[in-house]
Amino acid sequence: MPGAGTDKTKSWVAAPAPVVVLVEPQLGENIGAAARVMANFGLSRLRLVAPKQAWPNSKARMMAAGADRVLDAAVLYDDLTSAIADCTYVAACTARAHDQAKPVLAPEEVAATLAPRVAGGETVAIVFGRERNGLENDEVGLADAICTFPVNPAFASLNLAQAVALVSYEWFKRAGTGLPFTMPVKSQPAPKEQIHAFFADLERELERVEFFRPAEKRETMTINLRNIFARMQPTRQDIQTLHGVVMAIAEGRKGPARGGVLDGEEASLLRKLLAEHGEGRVPSERGPVRGLSRLLRRNPTEAERALWAALIADRRFAVHGFKRQVPVGPHIADLVSFPLRTVIDLAPAEESAEAAQARAVKRAWLAERDYRVVALAAAAVEADPRAALDAIAATLAL
Rounded to whole angstroms, the Cα distance separating 258 from 271 reads 19
pLDDT for residue 2: 47
Which carries the bigger pLDDT value, residue 229 or residue 117?
Answer: 117
Return phi, psi of residue 24, to 5°: 45, 55
291-307, pLDDT tens digit by residue?
677 778 778 888 888 99
Q: Are strands 89-93 and 145-147 parallel, antiparallel or unpaired?
A: parallel
Say what percent of the chain tops pLDDT 70. Answer: 89
Rounded to whole angstroms, the Cα distance separating 21 from 362 reads 85
For residues 177-182, give the mean pLDDT: 70
Rounded to whole angstroms, the Cα distance separating 18 from 209 reads 67
Return phi, psi of residue 20, to 5°: -105, 125
Rounded to whole angstroms, the Cα distance separating 262 from 256 reads 11
The answer to whether domain 19-175 and domain 192-252 are alike in fold is: no
CATH architecture of 192-252: Orthogonal Bundle (1.10)
Given the candidates 3.40.50.720, 3.40.1280.10, 3.30.1180.10, 3.40.50.11260, the CATH classification of the domain at 19-175 is 3.40.1280.10
Closest CA to 181 of 343, 5, 386: 5
pLDDT for residue 282: 46
For residues 334-345, give the mean pLDDT: 92
Ranges of each domain in the chain: 19-175, 192-252, 264-396
pLDDT for residue 1: 40
C-alpha distances in Å from residue 213, one per residue of 200, 217, 220: 18, 7, 11
For residues 351-360, give the mean pLDDT: 84
- Where would I find the beta strands (DSSP E) of the chain? 19-23, 46-49, 75-77, 89-93, 104-105, 124-128, 145-147, 322-328, 331-337, 342-347, 372-377
Rounded to whole angstroms, the Cα distance separating 379 from 372 reads 21
